[in-house]
A and B are shown apart, each in its own frame.
Chain A
Amino acid sequence: MVHLAVPLAETLTFPSFQYRAMAPILVVLGAAVLGVLVEALVPQGARRAVQLAVTLGGLGAALALVVATPASEQGMVAAGALAVDGPTLFLQMTILVVAIVAMLVVAERRVDPSGDAFAPRAAALVGSTEEQEQTRLGWTQTEVWPLFLFAVSGMLLFVAASDLLMLFIALEVMSLPLYLLAGMARRRRLLSQEAAMKYFLLGSFASAFLLYGSAMLFGFAGSLDFAVIADAFRDKPGQLGLQLLGLGLVSVGLLFKIAAVPFHMWAPDVYQGSPTPIAGFMAATVKVAAFGALLRVMYVALGGAAWEWQPAFWVIASITMLVGVVLAVTSSDIKRMLAYSSIAHAGFLLLGVVAFSTAGLSATMFYLLAYGLTTVGAFAIVMLVRGPSGEAGHLSSWAGLGRTSPLLAGVFALFLLALAGIPLTSGFTAKFGVFAAAIESGGVWAVLAAVLASAISAFFYLKVIVLMFFAKPGPDAPAVVVPSLLTSTAIGVAVVATVVLGVFPQVFLDLADASTPFLR
């Protein structure tokens, strides 16, 4: 029998829900449900328009609600299961902004001659006559939109969760739609399905770790609530077994999601196989959500044990950066390269987490905003460069793009320079923040590792720039698709964000600073 810490009568009183504070999550969730209904009720021809309106409307309304959340509404809501505080709002804002930009890319229909980036019917067997017939008839599907919205609602919940059970539920709400979305690519469907399968299996591992760790922490603290767990770490220093086991397993579960080494194996395969717009969406938003959750778990629930996890995390951060960049150097596929680069960035971000300070928190949040927008832009560009059989993934086919499409190559170069952390781009400002926080907290060696990793990372980012600008186009040079207004807008937003966050970051630094600390 589980021992309940509170008297029975009290558990039966209906907890008060502060609906205003939860409104952004509820709006997106509502839009997702509405999207399911649209699939069932609206005729095929009108679905796309309606779905786009529902998605954009839902995300936009949620963003407005997040931005306009009054200070009086901030606090612990839903009986302490969710925390609506500065970090939550900042990260929810980041997720929604990135999701809106990513959504525009997902909606792009001009890039593929037979429709969009998604299989006409994901259930059709690969290579079957059924599939060929569907492609011939020009079928497209709009199921991606409800799934997209469910994933976003899970993310919004993930960064707010202040209870291990809520954390787990949010993780599943976020992940399950993503597993499906990963498997829906129109081209190279087997690769896509393989990616979905891997993502699902390894994601399930992560969930299991998280759940098992939660059980341990529950056994240790007698509660799933972050605040109670934090108190338990303070008051019961003795029970090392459960405490460490719980801490370790929960961390592993979250480190899986951020693709930290050695839990990074899924990332390259999933990024490469997924439909590119979805890969960009995942790379950017999942990172924000998972880091948001990691920050809250580490700072609030496990903050009392910082001396236990900090040394391990310094090491993990350093290894993650170095392994990420070394593997990226060896990859010859642009999406795999970006995947490894995202692993390296997870390492840089971990520096901010492990700093365990207000500066670390605000620097990590700023980094997530900067990284998210640049990444969505970079993946959008990858989607536009196409050979005869879909996207030109291999790096060699990017040769000479600077001559044939200087604007596109220039924008991509900007994104790569930002990812490399060159000054006057958002990537530099972001790196500066986490490095400073890490040095302040005594992580000089980790920062030196980060500096080394940055130098190595410049090599492969530069390799692409060299190919684009200094090499001659090959015989099988890919065609660059001129995108519709949707993708152009998305790329434009990403460019502006990359430059503004690099040159005039003050407003956003202040915002991130003002959005600390965590409530508990």
Chain B
Amino acid sequence: MSTEQYLPLVALVALPILGGLLVSLLPKGNPTLPKQVALVISLLTLALGVVVGLAFDPSAADRFQLGASWDWIPAWGVSFALGVDGISLVLILMTAILVPVCILGGWADADATAGSPRGYFAWILVLEGLVLGVFAATDVFLFYVLFEAMLIPMYFLIGRYGGAQRQYAAVKFFLYSLAGGLLMLAALIGLWVVSGDQLGAGTFDYAALVGLDIPVETQKWLFLGFFIAFAIKAPLWPLHTWLPDAASEAPPSSSVLLVGVLDKVGTFGMLRLCLPLFPDASKYFTPVIIVLSIVGIVYGALLAIGQTDLKRLIAYTSISHFGFIALGIFAMTSQGQSGATLYMVNHGFSIAALFLIVGFMATRRGSRMVADFGGVQKVAPVLAGAFLVAGLSSLALPGLSSFVSEFLVLAGTFTRYPVAAVVATLGIVLAALYILLMYQRTMTGPVRPGVEGMPDLRGREVLAIAPVLAIILALGFFPQVALDIINPSVDQTMTAVGSTDPAPVVAEGK
């Protein structure tokens, strides 16, 4: 860790949290003020994120840059240490972009509920700060603490501002996540004890922990503790059942934060912690995880096709997509992991557009059932168009961002696990089905009763959706911008795991 403390990164984490406190303390009477203040704070956070992004040097030799570190609980070797690598940087930027989008898109989400808008936007900002902290943490204890603390804002966002089944969904979400988190805690303590045995004093410093030489049997147990927590969070089949409930009951902007941002912590954790800390165990468990990922890809897609509720449908598509991400990570090739990282970002944007637009539709129609819509493109063409672009991105149409990442994941998987890659490709076919069927049923055809007077996207909504669609297009055509940042970090992860890309078959020169 460099001796110089890079403060903008600390500010990036602190600003939204302090901003959240500020919003919660605003006077009660004015319902618009908290929204405006929250928007300003989230834009300032984005600006800080850009500052951090510009200060980052992808070609530098150090994996973690822009570090800042203070002793926190020296008795346990815990420090408040932040730093970014390419993988965390892109996720930080994605988060910083999505939060203002969510605030704009979710401007009215809290109005019809029993809770106050102050609370809603305060929790969103606190959540943003905690998630940014998780991505930036280079101390594993800090990572864990923030990982758990994230639950609380999300819990209130769902439980207080969600739909009819919100309490059930919020508690299910919390208990699933907490159970995983506690397993991780047990493994975390185990890791700490091992570090104490090997280094003389227990530490949580990431770099020191990566350097440990842990016996394989111990690795397996510790890996499972971490992996199950992340697999619940991500979520991977069969630990996914909380997601459809939570994502469909949460208000649309919170669904975006939940599925688009919060769940990325799970896959990020696999890449950041599971692989480098427990390389042997990761390789040992790879076949199982690949199978789970593939089951998830197909299962999520099939269930998405069968859904009648638009938000549940989108939630299930995410389970399929998280399968792709996990597949890319555990394929243990640099293409696969770069693709998975890019996938996390792209998925964040396409899911944001989908959830927000479905949210707009549900507010207008008073229902989120597929059957209640039809012919929307006649009355609200802009809305339908935006929905189509977001949907096509989700099914990985070339030219839109997800295509690149899905291609990389499949290509990276194929070199090592050809069968898995072939089966996973089925997910793309099914994706075309669920997206296009959804579009066809809701947007095309005769105008259904109840849809007739549906207004098109308004100014604020356009403002929320337009940047997301722009990014989807931009990353579709120029993915290299992001990949240049991601690739060096992926290479370093691969080195830490001790994995090399299999030589291409053609290079064998027959």
Contacts and interface: CB of A to CB of B under 8 A. Distances in A.
B423 interface: no
A67 B175 CA distance: 42
B148 to A, nearest CB: 5
B208 interface: no
B75 interface: yes
Interface in A468-507: 469-472, 505-506
A455 B192 CA distance: 21
A466 interface: yes
B189 A439 contact: yes
B186 A423 contact: no
B27 to A, nearest CB: 15
B170 A455 contact: no
A435 B189 contact: yes
B175 A432 contact: no
Contacts of B170: 466, 470
Contacts of B146: 423
B160 A470 contact: yes
Contacts of B175: 455, 458-459, 462
Contacts of B179: 455
B156 A469 contact: yes
A459 B193 CA distance: 29
A180 B179 CA distance: 42
A97 interface: no
A440 to B, nearest CB: 5
A448 B186 contact: yes
Interface in A404-432: 417, 422-424, 428-429, 432
Contacts of B190: 439, 444
B74 A506 contact: yes
Contact of A506 (B73, B114, B185): B73
Contact of B186 (A403, A440, A447, A466): A447
A435 B144 CA distance: 15
B192 A436 contact: yes
A192 B101 CA distance: 57
Interface in B140-197: 144-146, 148-149, 151-152, 156, 159-160, 166-167, 170-171, 174-175, 178-179, 182-183, 185-186, 189-190, 192-193, 196
B174 A462 contact: yes
Given A444-B190, A451-B186, A422 B75 contact: no
A451 B160 contact: no
Contact of A513 (B75, B114, B151, B156): B75
A458 B178 contact: yes
Interface in A229-269: none
B181 to A, nearest CB: 9
A345 to B, nearest CB: 16
A471 B160 CA distance: 9
Contact of A470 (B145, B151, B152, B166): B166
A435 B72 CA distance: 20
A424 B193 CA distance: 21
Contacts of A455: 175, 178-179, 182
A468 to B, nearest CB: 11
Contact of B193 (A440, A462, A463, A471): A440
A510 B75 CA distance: 7
A429 B145 CA distance: 10
A432 B187 CA distance: 12
A439 B202 CA distance: 13
Contacts of B145: 423-424, 428
A458 B183 CA distance: 14
A463 B179 CA distance: 16
A471 B170 CA distance: 13
Contacts of A403: 114
Nearest to B176: A455
A451 B185 CA distance: 8
A454 interface: yes
Contact of A422 (B152, B159, B183): B152
A401 B182 CA distance: 29
A435 B75 CA distance: 15
A423 B76 CA distance: 15
A423 B144 contact: yes
Contacts of A424: 145, 149
Interface in B113-150: 114, 144-146, 148-149
B192 A451 contact: no
A469 B193 CA distance: 39
Given A455-B175, A469-B156, A505-B73, A423 B189 contact: no
A435 B185 contact: yes
B225 to A, nearest CB: 9
A76 interface: no
A422 B148 contact: yes
A367 to B, nearest CB: 14
A432 B75 contact: no
A432 B184 CA distance: 12
Contact of B182 (A436, A454, A509): A454
Contacts of A454: 178, 182
A282 B152 CA distance: 31
Nearest to B221: A444
Contacts of A466: 159, 167, 170-171
8 tightest Cβ-Cβ pairs between the two chains A and B: A423-B145, A455-B179, A451-B182, A509-B75, A423-B148, A436-B189, A451-B186, A470-B159
22 contacts: A403-B114, A417-B152, A422-B151, A423-B144, A423-B145, A423-B149, A424-B145, A428-B148, A429-B73, A435-B185, A436-B202, A439-B190, A439-B193, A451-B182, A455-B175, A458-B174, A458-B175, A466-B159, A470-B166, A506-B73, A509-B75, A510-B75
Interface of A: 403, 417, 422-424, 428-429, 432, 435-436, 439-440, 444, 447-448, 451-452, 454-455, 458-459, 462-463, 466, 469-472, 505-506, 509-510, 513
Given A447-B189, A454-B178, A471-B167, 19 more contacts: A423-B146, A424-B145, A428-B145, A432-B185, A436-B202, A439-B189, A440-B196, A451-B183, A452-B182, A458-B174, A459-B171, A459-B175, A466-B159, A470-B160, A505-B73, A506-B72, A506-B74, A506-B75, A510-B75
